[in-house]
Amino acid sequence: MAFVKGVWRILVAIKDGLVLLFLLLFFGALYAALSFSPKPAKAIASGALLLDLDGTIVEQPAEVDPFALLSGSGPDAKEYRLSDIVLALEAARTDAKVKAVVLNLDGFMGGGQVAMARVGKALDAVRAAKKPVLTYATLYTDDGYQLAAHASEIWTDPLGGVAIMGRGGSSLFYKGLIDKLGVTTHVYRVGTYKSFVEPFIRADQSPEAKQANQALAAALWQNWQDDVAKARPKAKIAAYAADPVAAARAAGGDMAKAAMAAGLIDRVGNESAFGDHVADIAGDGTDDAAGSFASIDLSTYVKARKPANDGQIGVLTVAGDIVDGEAGPGTAAGDTISDLLLTALDEKSLKALVVRVDSPGGSVMAGNKIRDAILQAKAQGLPVVVSMGNVAASGGYWVSTPADIIFAEPDTITGSIGVFGILPSFEGTLAKMGITTDGVRTTPLSGQPDVMAGTNEAFDQIMQMGVEDIYRRFIGLVAKSRRKTPEQVDAIAQGRVWDGGTARQIGLVDRFGGLEDAIAEAARRAKIDPAKARPYWIEKQPDKWAQWFEAMAERERDGEDAGAARDLLARQALLQRRWAAQAVNDARAMVTGGGVRADCLQCRAYGAPRAASGDARIGLMAVLTGWLK
């Protein structure tokens, strides 16, 4: 009886604790709601349209978890939608209230060459309308400078400069660590160039992977130089990037002076001096702070200019990792995206479908579910046009195969037609600790895959045959889509990644062009005047609760940039830490996620590292330790 009473007391205590926790959370949320007053909507006044890009440019921003914001573990960088920035710049071009466009790139972390080129094109249009475009940053790196090159004036801080890194870098390889731990990595793959699994089975890149990656990096680097040179002919970008040491030495180590000598920047001055210069053009600000100028907030401007979502051309976005199940925006979840498309087909009178793909791939099952939903659109007689963004590789190409026509850009990363599966087992690790396994079986597959005792030959053979079968299906889908033989596709597949220019030459894409070109083509195929065609964005509606908390967090962040990394050492160290943490998290997700994958690891290194959550900010060694556990 005493035991029962003790258990009852414990249950009552747990109940009381939960009630108390709920009350604390309730009153905390109530206090926050009462104390929070959102920024009042301001009328669009005359001044400079300010793009204070403190984060990354993405195809589709990820939905922020409100509980992560509450706990302080939300993302550490903001994501800006590419189409919103383009919309704002196109409106500013003819808006008499906009006297200039100003880009503050001090906290800019990049976004990929396709996105940079598209924003650059919009900036060129603003300049063609005789409106000044001015940029400021303490330090410009590759993506930031690609935007700045399209400006009429480029400013940098006296202690800043331009650091051009080019394409390429190091990747993590875990083979030595895996061997020391006694972990056995079971890999099932098809494709000479399917290098996603190489970090788990090699200590370095294979010659084939290195050759393919070098060719891709060289093509993208040349395209970057061509874009910058066209936008800013006076910049001696090739010489500056080829020998930065000589440029720095000639300027006595003064990087701002070196950039000025190479024609990369126009003015050297601090942020206050830059603001005063903008004020001369756009008008004075409403406060007395140094460097204040009349500015138009980007988000407010976009909201005021955004058209109603009631078009006849459906635009389905497949952005981020392709995963099974459901997820919010910024992740291409198979169930979520397929349900969104099927609902739109059922409820809307769509005349055509554009699929905007910006994904390195992921789960084969999820990708096929998205593809099946796109085929439903074709079955209803809708023309299907694919528009590729920064990356449309592996699973990203899988979902593109139903297209009647594929648009890409020269800087698009695509291909990676190949599949693999990977599974770790720990019999060697357990043996090091004196632990063994034993059991009984009734069939060759009993207890398989056994991650404690290792897989057997029958399981390995079945898995490898399954991967080979999926690869044949992948080849068949591409062959049918591209009107080639399976043998012709296999010759350009094998997991190899291609730049958009080469992909067009070998027939993996049809035309160069952006999302607007794809929408116009879809309209023509649906016998609609492209000038009258309007998109209907097939997306999950943003969560109002999450938006409210994000607005609170944004309000708290306003003006808080004391910890921003601005000098060369701090900024590049921050970027490399983010890349390293992302690489480890990608590897951990691949190993723990399971399933056969159509994925492209090297594709993820072109663009910007994803915003790190609080978990990722605990440090690289902690992430590694968590992966090992």
The catalytic site residues sit at 194, 394
Closest CA to 391 of 399, 382, 402: 399
- The rounded distance, in Å, linking the Cα atoms of 407 and 384 is 11
CA distances to 251, 328, 350, 526, 534 from 530, rounded to whole Å, are 53, 31, 15, 10, 8
Say if strands 413-415 and 497-499 run parallel, antiparallel, or are unpaired.
Answer: antiparallel
CA distances to 168, 322, 422 from 593, rounded to whole Å, are 27, 12, 10
- The rounded distance, in Å, linking the Cα atoms of 361 and 558 is 35
Closest CA to 554 of 332, 260, 299, 233: 299
- The rounded distance, in Å, linking the Cα atoms of 51 and 354 is 28
- The rounded distance, in Å, linking the Cα atoms of 277 and 324 is 51
Tracing tokens 């909507």 back to the chain, one arrives at 41
Structure tokens at 38: 């959102």
CA dihedral 415, 419, 421, 422 (to 10 degrees): -40
Using CB atoms within 10 Å of the CB of residue 538, give its burial: 0 to 12 exposed, 13 to 18 middle, 19+ buried.
buried
Using CB atoms within 10 Å of the CB of residue 335, give its burial: 0 to 12 exposed, 13 to 18 middle, 19+ buried.
middle
- The rounded distance, in Å, linking the Cα atoms of 308 and 80 is 20
- The rounded distance, in Å, linking the Cα atoms of 494 and 525 is 33
Tracing tokens 């969560």 back to the chain, one arrives at 543
* Beta-bridge partners for 133: 101
- The rounded distance, in Å, linking the Cα atoms of 21 and 29 is 12
* Neighbouring residues of 544: CB distance < 8 A, sequence distance ≥ 6: none
Q: Assign 447 to helix, strand or coil.
A: coil
Instruction: Return the H-helix or E-strand segment holding 490.
Output: helix 486-492
* Beta-bridge partners for 99: none
Contact 391, 606 (CB under 8 A): yes
Dihedral sign for Cα 577, 208, 495, 511, please: positive
